[in-house]
Amino acid sequence: MTHGNLIGGRWVDGAEHIEDRNPADREEVVGVFARGTPDDMTAAVRAAGEAFPAWASLAAPARGAVLFRAAELLDGRVEQLSSEMTREEGKTLPEARGEVRRSINILRYFGGEGARLPGLLAPSERDRVLAYALRKPLGVVGLVTPWNFPSAIAAWKLAPALVAGNTVVLKPASAAPLSSWRIVEALVEAGMPDGVVNFVAGPGSTLGEAMIDGPGMRAISFTGSCEVGAEIYDRAVRRRLRVQLEMGGKNPTVVLADADLDRAAADVVNGAFASTGQKCTATSRVIVERAVHGALVERLVARTRALTVGNGLDPGTDVGPAVDQHQLDTVLGYVERGVREGATLLCGGRRLQEPPFDRGFFVEPALFANVDPRMAIAQEEIFGPVLAILEADDFDDAVRLANGVAFGLSAAVQTRDLSKALDFVSRIEAGLVTVNLPSAGVEYQLPFGGTKASSVGPKEQGPHALDFYTDWKTVYIRY
């Protein structure tokens, strides 16, 4: 069956198609999608514009009720959706289940915002004047998502946008469109009026401009690479659109000499290699105080070697494949570069090609020691299972190294010293900080996003997600 694009309430096929293939077994086609054209995108933006006045004037709790119903529908399909996600993206089945559940929770959380949409009431300086401010939707919003959290990222953009009263056009990543298509399908089944949610799959390189230039487009929320984010920003800002960008990271975990080293090693390996390291919040640098360097490295090597690489559907798999050939080549390219620049490859870094790995993009998780902070593997986002270990003289040196990159998404510290933990929280340049936890693993009730080159615009998730998707309207009434 072909998965069509959703334009103005109609599922539309295309003259050309995109095959969504399983990265663990390239022979398997998980879904075939209509390849949207710029004309499809323009039609979708127009349809969203036409649907906006009625959706915006619907009572907000009624908008929230559609999200609740969609959550119920998805709740009955967790196993199907999780298995599809593992087959389209490669992450393990437990990881996929966690993501589907998270998407459901996000829909419920923002469904509840329909009954809150907090405004502001303040005393006027003038007698007999009532002063307050309301949140109003923007209009048509374009949502562009990556492949690594193919369901949750779509959910955390769709839900606040819709409950606030906006209408949307979603463009998923071509490598994994099925999981977000399923959310859109559930929203339609839940009673979403025609044109409120539109979905156009197809190459971002041709659809992006049509989205930004679409009639009445007001805002773009993008998650993906810094390169594409910069391109979108330049074009969208020229058109005076509101822009939100969530991009890459080079996330450190600092391990101090007083840390529980077994726990630290477990958190680092989880943070670095879960989801094959294909998380924007994944740990890609470990910065270790010299006194415990040897002891930590020993633990990291043992734990990394013990990981089972394989098909995410197989019980016992810890690390699935890279999502596609391009991502695999990027990972192998950085491993080669790390060796060339003089770092020591302690384990992994090899493509697995012998059966049963010969039909997928499997690579062994790689650990590098003797990494100089100027090396590419210490500075650039790899977005795969490659971890660089750097040595620090002391706490201050560790913070300096941790902050010495362009990015500022997530960061972690492992220590038993409360004072150092709080000092780290204060000094680290990151939008998300964890203490004695992996650098990844965030929750939807709190703001999510980075600083420095990682992010532009207001944060996603949590109650403040509404800030991006609403304008304030301030009212003064004399009575």
The distance of closest approach from Cβ of residue 171 to ligand NDP in the complex, given in angstroms and rounded to an integer, is: 6
Q: Which two tokens stand for residue 70?
A: 């969609």
Site string for ligand NDP, 120-159 (x = CB under 6 A): ------------------------xxxxxx----------
Residues 6+ apart with CB under 8 A from 310: 24, 316, 317, 319, 320, 356, 357, 362
Tokens of 121: 């009431």
Stretch of 221-229, 283-291, 397-405, 468-476 lying at the interface with ligand NDP (CB under 6 A):
221-229
280 catalytic residue (yes or no): yes
Tokens 């009624």, residue located: 62
Instruction: Give yes or no: 185 in active site.
Output: no
Residue 120 in tokens? 């502001």
3-state secondary structure of 182: helix
- Nearest CB to ligand NDP, comparing residues 114 and 450: 450
Q: Which of 99, 113, 280, 364 is catalytic?
A: 280
In whole angstroms, give the CA distance from residue 65 to residue 317.
38
Alpha helices in 260-343, H assignment, sequence order: 261-273, 293-305, 325-340
Which residue, 479, 398, 467, is CA-closest to 136?
Answer: 467
Q: Which of 4, 98, 112, 225 binds ligand NDP (CB under 6 A)?
A: 225
- Residue 159, number of CB atoms within 10 A of its CB: 29
Q: State the minimum distance, in angstroms, from the CB of residue 153 to ligand NDP.
A: 6
247 binds ligand NDP (CB under 6 A): yes
Pull the structure tokens for residue 355: 């059966």
Q: How far is CA 461 from the centre of its chain?
A: 11
Task: Tell me how far, at minimum, the Cβ of 5 lies from ligand NDP, in Å.
Answer: 13
According to CB under 6 A, which one of 409, 413, 433, 456 is a site residue for ligand NDP?
A: 409
If one asks whether residue 194 binds ligand NDP (CB under 6 A), the answer comes out as no
Examine residue 304 and tell whether it contacts ligand NDP (CB under 6 A): no
Residue 231 binds to ligand NDP (criterion: CB under 6 A)? yes
Give the CA distances from residue 339 to residues 160, 327, 328, 369, 376, in Å, rounded to whole numbers and listed in that order.
45, 19, 17, 10, 11
Please work out the total of residues on this chain that contact ligand NDP, with binding judged by CB under 6 A: 30
Tokens 């220590």 locate to: 415
DSSP label at 34?
E
Contact pick of 383, 424, 444, 469 for ligand NDP (by CB under 6 A): 383
- Is residue 217 a contact residue for ligand NDP (CB under 6 A)? no
Q: In angstroms, what is the minimal distance from the CB of 81 to ligand NDP?
A: 19
Does 208 bind ligand NDP (CB under 6 A)? Our answer is yes
Q: Which residues bind ligand NDP (CB under 6 A)?
A: 144-149, 171-175, 203-205, 208, 223-225, 228, 231-232, 246-249, 280, 381, 383, 409, 454
Catalytic residues: 246, 280
